[in-house]
Amino acid sequence: MWRCRSPKTCLAILAERGIIEVVCDNDDATVSERLTEEVERIARRVLTGEDIAWSHVGIILAGHRTVTELNRTWLKHDYDTDVLSFVIDTSDQGLEGEVYVDMETAAERHEEFGSSYDDEVLRYVVHGVLHLAGHDDQTAEGERLMTHLENRYLVTPSCEAARRAASRAPASE
């Protein structure tokens, strides 16, 4: 485990499809190397599964202050949220985007859903990457589809939440 120092690239992987960079931008969070590696793997799994070409995707592990400020500034939403996604560019080289995960919200809410802290973080990552892939949860149908896709991508041996995915109620914003 290590303490994050803002901002700190915890992991950046360049593969044939593009870069996925995991950045810790929360001085108050302790993030394990295993979690940062799993964040990168699950982001890659979602992008590949959704058949998205990407050049650079940043997954920023942040806190309330950063995520709330971005939500107010860029989306004009005056409320807290667990994850934000921003498509920066789409070109022939592929998608460039960022996902901001509120690690403090994951720490506060994971028990409410019967999941571990790491699994809640991974759910937020999947949700954010699905938004980058073009999915929307502004309707009941869109929310059901995104929850279904989250559960599908979270079904891995390393993810405890997968065993409880069928019973998880979709969170509403």
Q: Which tokens is 77 given?
A: 């939403």
C-alpha span between 158 and 150 (Å, rounded): 15
pLDDT at 163 over 90: no
Bridge partner residues of 25 (DSSP): 62
2-11, 12-21, 24-33, 35-44 — most confident range: 35-44
Check whether 29 has a pLDDT greater than 70: no
Q: Residue 154 belongs to what H/E stretch?
A: helix 140-154
Question: Which CATH number is 142's domain given?
Answer: 3.40.390.30
Coil vs helix vs strand at 135: coil
Average pLDDT over residues 140-168: 74
Tell me, yes or no, whether 173 lies in a domain: no
Most confident of 31-45, 64-78, 133-147: 133-147
Residue 64 in domain: yes
Report yes or no on 13 lying in a domain.
yes
- The residue-averaged pLDDT of 108-123 equals 93
* Overall domain count for the chain: 1
The boundaries of the domain holding residue 90 are 2-167
Asked if residues 153 and 126 have their Cβ atoms less than 8 Å apart, the reply is yes
Residue 54 domain-assigned?
A: yes
Q: Is the dihedral of CA 62, 35, 94, 50 positive or negative?
A: negative
pLDDT at 14 over 60: no
Residue 142 lies in a domain: yes
Q: What is the pLDDT of residues 48-99, one digit of tens each?
A: 999 999 999 999 999 999 999 998 998 888 888 999 999 999 999 999 999 9
In a domain, 172, yes or no: no
Among 33-37, 98-102, 155-159, where is mean pLDDT lowest?
Answer: 155-159
Look-up: residue for tokens 């939440």? 161
What does the pLDDT read at residue 28? 62
Show the tokens assigned to 2: 């290590």
